[in-house]
Structure 1
Amino acid sequence: MRETELVLGRRWILVLEPGEEVIAALDEWCARTGVRAGTVDLFFGAFRSVTLIAGRDDTVDPELPLPTSVEVAYLEGIGSGSIAQKDGSARVHLHVAAGVKSAGGAAYAGHLLSAEVHYTVEVVVQEVLSPELTLRADPRAHGIGCLFFE
């Protein structure tokens, strides 16, 4: 376990509009407002489409990160995540659990690669002033990007 105490800054609520791509909109917002690190305490809403790291077939080794993704249409969902520095820019890292509206709410969950807003998505962001948060490959996690404190 890694741990650190956070020095917090500003706090926002954002409302994303139909057609916006969630991660791209949040990355652009971070650049515009100067947010370098933070927590996405909550986001929720209606999505026209969501692409997650996931698979539809049995995995050969469940310990390894999945190399595939799935796209699912017309969902309602909720998630959270972090904002950290990667390659000199703030990057948003989100996970979501979302139910397909036409399938009785059958759910998909996982690391969000992309999502298009259908009606609205509301986001609560808390800025972290210190320490610096970074995303970098962690060999102990099969090389996937993990959160580190500088």
Structure 2
Amino acid sequence: MKYTEAKLGRIFILRLEHGDRLPDTIEEFAQSQGIESATLLFLGGSDQNSKVVVGPEDGTAIKPVPTVIGLPGVSESVGVGTIFLNEDRMPKLHLHSAFGRKEQTVTGCTREGVTIWHIGEVIIFELINCSAQRKIDPTTGFELLQVQ
């Protein structure tokens, strides 16, 4: 385990609107506000055309290929995530969410594109004095969090 320390900065409360997309909307907001590091909570509805990464096709592969699926329909959604700058100094969202519709639940990463269905609430807790950054891991190809 490696770790770094940070302090709490600004807190933002966002109301996402019908058709907004994750991660794009959050990353654009973070860039416009100069947010370099943060943690966040997400709650709302996700539209049927949304796609999530639900794991690797082969968990033993050196460079795993992600399994991407579409949501089974409009879904209730809840998630938790982080924002850190990547090597290009752009804020990158890593948000895992659970999506439920009737008896079906899908849990995955929103990086393939989740569209908001009418209701989206996000609370962003900015982290300041933080040295953590996302960097490409040459072995896996993942953009991993690096701490100093």
Q: TM-score by structure 2 length?
A: 0.85
Note the aligned Cα RMSD (angstroms).
2.0
Deviations 1:6-62 (Å, cap 9, x if unpaired)?
A: 12210111110111112111111111111111111x10111113211137xx94x33
Determine the C-alpha separation between the residues in 2 that align with 1:133 and 1:17. Answer: 30
Determine the C-alpha separation between the residues in 2 that align with 1:111 and 1:90. Answer: 16
Determine the C-alpha separation between the residues in 2 that align with 1:147 and 1:2. Answer: 10
Q: Secondary structure of 1:26's partner?
A: helix
Count of paired positions? 142
Determine the C-alpha separation between the residues in 1 that align with 2:35 and 2:19. Answer: 23
| Structure 2 equivalent of residue 90 of structure 1 | 91
Q: Aligned residues: percent identity? A: 28
Structure 1 residue ranges, 4+ long, deviating more than 4 angstroms after superposition: none
Give the alignment partner of residue 109 of structure 1, picking from 84, 102, 107: 107
Q: How big is the shift at 1:123?
A: 0.6
Determine the C-alpha separation between the residues in 2 that align with 1:143 and 1:24. Answer: 21
Q: Quick check: 2:4–2:132 contact (8 Å CA) kept in 1?
A: no
**Which 5+ residue runs of structure 2 have no aligned equivalent?**
none
| Structure 1 equivalent of residue 60 of structure 2 | 63
Residues 1:51 and 2:51 aligned together: yes
**Which 5+ residue runs of structure 1 have no aligned equivalent?**
none
What are the equivalent positions in structure 2 for 1:1-150 lying under 5 Å apart? 1-40=1-40, 42-49=41-48, 50-54=50-54, 59=57, 61-64=58-61, 65-72=64-71, 73-86=73-86, 87-100=88-101, 104-113=102-111, 114-139=113-138, 142-150=140-148
Q: Quick check: 1:39–1:126 contact (8 Å CA) kept in 2?
A: yes
